Amino acid sequence: MTEYYFHAEKMSVGYQMRPLIEKIEIGLQKGEILTLIGPNGAGKTTVLKSIAGQIGLLGGTVYLDGRSIGGMSGSELSRKMAVLLTEKLRTELMSCEEVVSTGRYPYTGHFGLLSAGDRAAVREAMELVHVTDIADRDFQRISDGQRQRVMLARAICQEPEIIVLDEPTSYLDVRHKLEFLSVLQKLRREKRLTVVMSLHELELAAKVSDKILCVNGRYAGKFGKPEEIFRPGAIGELFGISTGSYDEESGGMELAAPEGQAEVFVIAGGGTGRTVYRSLQRQGIPFAAGILFRNDLDYPVAKALSARCIAAESFEPVPEALLLEAREQINACQKVICCRETFGTYETANAELLAYAERSGKFKRGGIRSCQK
């Protein structure tokens, strides 16, 4: 067995002796980022709190650097692990700098007075997350995004080896989400910080994490690398998605497809069809999409939204049978929309379809403009 820096062995978590999730196995090397994903109420927070020693384990052991966390004293653990929880930090009349400096608690003397070294650590942490300019502002009077960054600075100046974060990006806008995760990556590169967190943004989780743990109600599902976890259909299953869909490969999500038989046939390709598909979905018009190569940008969206998607193998000529199928589909539709202005050498099938639609009076020239809206 390889030596892990952070290792959860047969960990069972829950409240009041009632196990919520049992037999969780996690193994992380130093400097890896683990993200917990799963539906609301699945127990991500419970797992994180158990790891952080906030609630007692109901079974199993959590090892840090080969030593059981349960066997460490509070002050020893506080020098190794910092947390950033969803619970709001209660402060009154505290400046951001004062909030950050509470992270130095494990290192200060009996009365908690800061030494010059402590102050330097506070300053460094604040610079790292760019909150130096709000150092003197009252912590209660800054935005949620700023508050979250101040909290990160606080955790950083605790100089932990591992940091546990519960939905750290929830209140952040896109820019600050990216900045926040970049800081985590920087810390992990420069200080070999190990990160355990939960995220709701699956697409970000797939990008930033070295390991993913799926948490779903009663059991801890798969644990592994993002590419092992984000298999087609895995997310839909984990979250029990029944309305709409999530595409594991692109990280895009789509609302539910309109119900019923296709009324419109959309000829598209190369990403030109996506806006049309979505526009039809908004109007509640069921449609068919074709003929798309499986590696086309339009394909995942078409697959999610269309009543019928006629797709061809990538890098292969379109077989005659598929063309016939598409024609039949056009026959069944009242209207054809074409999103392509010209057709390339490998789009002869779609060019033929368009000509067929024109002949049968289901496509009117000039309709291109309207479909590009």
Task: Name which of residues 29 to 58 contact another protein (CB under 8 A).
Answer: 49, 52-54
In Å, how far from its chain's centre is CA 269? Answer: 27
Q: How far apart are CA 197 and CA 209, in angstroms?
A: 10
In the block, tokens 């479909």 appear at: 371
Compute the least distance from the CB of residue 259 to another protein, in Å: 45
Task: Name which of residues 126 to 185 contact another protein (CB under 8 A).
Answer: 140-141, 158
CA angle 279, 280, 284 (to 5 degrees): 120
Window of 6-14, 106-114, 273-281, 361-369 that interacts with another protein by CB under 8 A:
106-114
Residue 219 binds another protein, judged by CB under 8 A: no
Nearer to another protein, 98 or 179 (CB): 98
Nearer to another protein, 112 or 317 (CB): 112
**Residue 295 main-chain phi, psi, to 5 deg:** -100, 15
Compute the least distance from the CB of residue 96 to another protein, in Å: 13
Nearer to another protein, 88 or 207 (CB): 88
Residues binding another protein: what is the number (CB under 8 A)?
A: 35
43-79 burial, b if ≥16 CB within 10 A, otherwise e? Answer: bbbbbbbbbbbebebbebebbbeeeebeebeeeebbe
Nearer to another protein, 112 or 117 (CB): 112
Nearer to another protein, 158 or 194 (CB): 158
Where do the DSSP E strands lie in the chain?
A: 6-15, 18-28, 33-37, 59-64, 67-68, 81-84, 162-166, 194-198, 211-216, 219-224, 245-246, 253-254, 264-267, 287-293, 308-312, 335-338
| Strand pairing category for 59-64 and 6-15 | antiparallel
Window of 33-41, 97-105, 176-184, 193-201 that interacts with another protein by CB under 8 A:
97-105
Kindly state the tokens that stand for 106: 């494990």
Task: Name which of residues 55 to 94 contact another protein (CB under 8 A).
Answer: 73-79, 81-83, 85, 87-94
Task: Name which of residues 258 to 277 contact another protein (CB under 8 A).
Answer: none
Q: How far apart are CA 260 and CA 313, in angstroms?
A: 26
Residue 106 binds another protein, judged by CB under 8 A: yes
Residues of the shown chain interacting with another protein in the complex, contacts defined by CB under 8 A: 49, 52-54, 73-79, 81-83, 85, 87-94, 98, 102, 105-106, 108, 110-113, 140-141, 158
